[in-house]
Copies of this chain bind each other. A is one copy, B any other.
């Protein structure tokens, strides 16, 4: 018997007959600016589900442990239930978004090394940036876990950069969530999609045209569905060509 456990901004979690397995339903709802802006992106649930499955399978094939079990419908996946670490792990290759607003760095500035950042997953506090020391003081993770998160985040970044580059997409930055499974292992959880990444089309030079992610929705650039479709198509085609 399925029971709704949690409805978030972009997904709904259901319990399943197996206590260790959850069903994640991807919604078409879109929110931005800590849910002050709300809307719908047609077909987003299916597209983000498909993209997440493709990327998580790619990462699993590279040795990254993830929560993904299998896709159970166009907009549904079965996942291993984990205890989510309440941190948004953000990896940045190019300066954009809050990094620019907070530091004065220009959007598009190539960072000298991939920046792994931690934000408290807390909508009331506005997902504040955490230093490593703050993270330890808040007891959100141990020093050992923090090291593991950083290693995983950097490794995921390398594998995703490789895949996106082969799709002529620049991986500007992205957000990850991790959880602890019943064996105490850290698994990559949640989703990776144009909702949670900044992706720039390398075949476009115009700074608005190149945007292939939720920034189209945030900044009212239009053609949101088309952009998500393009991301989905390029990734799926690329992975099919690898399998062939």
A interface residues (Cβ-Cβ under 8 A, vs B): 99, 102-105, 111-113, 115-117, 120, 122, 125, 128-134, 137-138
Contacts and interface: CB of A to CB of B under 8 A. Distances in A.
Nearest to A130: B103
Contact of A131 (B111, B112, B125, B131): B131
Nearest to A126: B102
Contacts of A125: 102-104
Given A103-B120, A104-B122, A120-B103, A112 B137 contact: yes
Contacts of A117: 131, 133
Given A105-B138, A112-B137, A137-B115, A131 B128 contact: no
B129 A115 contact: no
Chain copies in the assembled complex: 2
Contact of A133 (B102, B105, B115, B130): B115
A128 B115 contact: no
A96 to B, nearest CB: 13
A138 B102 CA distance: 12
Contacts of A104: 122, 125
A122 B104 CA distance: 10
A154 B117 CA distance: 24
A112 B131 CA distance: 15
Nearest to A101: B125
A113 B136 CA distance: 10
Contacts of A120: 103
A115 to B, nearest CB: 5
Nearest to A120: B103
A116 B133 CA distance: 8
A41 to B, nearest CB: 31
Given A104-B122, A104-B125, A129-B131, 16 more contacts: A102-B125, A102-B128, A103-B120, A103-B125, A103-B128, A103-B134, A103-B137, A103-B138, A105-B137, A105-B138, A111-B137, A113-B133, A115-B134, A129-B129, A131-B131, A132-B132
6 contacts: A102-B128, A103-B130, A103-B134, A103-B137, A105-B138, A131-B132
A71 to B, nearest CB: 36
